[in-house]
Amino acid sequence: MKDNPVVVAIIGVGLIGGSLALALRQNRFSRKTIGVDSNLLHQQQAMNLGLVDEINELDAAVKSADIIILAVPVNTADALIKKVLELVDQQVVIDVGSTKTSICKNANLSNKRGRFVATHPMWGTEFSGPTAAVEGAFKEKAVLICNKEESDADALMITEKMYKSLGMHLLYMDAGAHDLHAAYVSHISHISSFALANTVLEKEKEENAIFEMASAGFESTVRLAKSNASMWLPIFQQNRENVLDVLNEHISQLRKFKSCLEKENYEYLLELITHANDIKKVLEPSKALIE
């Protein structure tokens, strides 16, 4: 691996990939950024916005880079990881997906598994594509590094150095534990938002009424419903068991609220709401983990 600044190839120049490209350049971690994207419009936008210095094919980009970042939907990353690892020599391959168990299993099929570091920067928005890239997105956020013992020491060190250059703090976790916790702090939030949006769209046929009455609370609750479907479907597929587990608990909690209203049991309803207020104690010290 060459001394910094390095050449970075970003496969998937969308929200996360584009924001990483901006941050790595601003922090002078990278001296050149190569973009790889199957979407021709995204290629053009990434170049026009200055997110990357050039667009190239996958094989050429991997061979020209010191660090390769997989910033594509998790099912695409699964399909690519073994191929990318076969192309590398001493380069480092990093993924940034929201599920970790599946990609780690696929990476384990390669004899170059040590060059791969599984990560999940805990930041995102409901927008997608290169035009959604945000400057300074990762500063003071957390990044999860999974199954670090399966990565070569130098690959892990380079990855840690990269994320530290972005102002992130590092957390370490087993891939299975990551996917379980992600189901609780991220994946169920998206399902709830999708479901609420569908509920309102079904009940409120007059869109103007929704717009006129929408408060800040409603907007923040359904914000995630604007997230890219092609990105979230494979996340739910890969993390199906954990999502079902938390979804069953969520449905159980909703039934309690429903039962209180049906039976006019407002004393218990007050208890449920008061108990929910305790989430403040959890969120304040862990704010960066659930952005």
pLDDT band at 291 (very low <50, low <70, confident <90, very high): very low
The answer to whether 268 and 258 are in contact (CB under 8 A) is: no
The average pLDDT across 26-51 equals: 96
In this model, does residue 253 exceed pLDDT 70?
yes
In this model, does residue 2 exceed pLDDT 90?
no
5 upstream amide cis, omega within 30 of 0: yes
pLDDT band at 203 (very low <50, low <70, confident <90, very high): confident
- For the chain, give the percent of residues with pLDDT over 90: 84
pLDDT band at 221 (very low <50, low <70, confident <90, very high): confident
CATH number of 178-290: 1.10.3660.10
In this model, does residue 275 exceed pLDDT 70?
yes
Looking at residue 280, its pLDDT comes to 87
Phi, psi of 239 (to 5 degrees): -105, 30
Half-sphere exposure of 150 (CA within 13 A, CB side): 25
In this model, does residue 290 exceed pLDDT 50?
no
**Residue 119: strand pairing partners:** 145
Looking at residue 206, its pLDDT comes to 65
Contacts of 93 (CB under 8 A, 6+ apart): 67, 68, 70, 81, 84, 85, 115, 116, 117
β-strand pairing of 67-70 with 30-36: unpaired
Kindly report the pTM of this predicted structure: 0.88
pLDDT band at 82 (very low <50, low <70, confident <90, very high): very high
- Residue 260's identity, in one-letter code, is C
Structure tokens at 221: 């609750």
What is the H or E stretch that residue 255 is in?
A: helix 240-262
Looking at residue 202, its pLDDT comes to 81
Distance CA 159, CA 94 (A): 8
In this model, does residue 105 exceed pLDDT 70?
yes
What average pLDDT does the chain have?
Answer: 93
In this model, does residue 137 exceed pLDDT 50?
yes
Structure tokens at 266: 């407002």
Rg of the chain's alpha carbons, rounded to an integer? 21
In this model, does residue 289 exceed pLDDT 90?
no
Fold match flag (6-173 vs 178-290): no
Segments making up each domain of the chain, as ranges: 6-173, 178-290
Looking at residue 207, its pLDDT comes to 67
- CATH topology for the 6-173 domain: Rossmann fold (3.40.50)
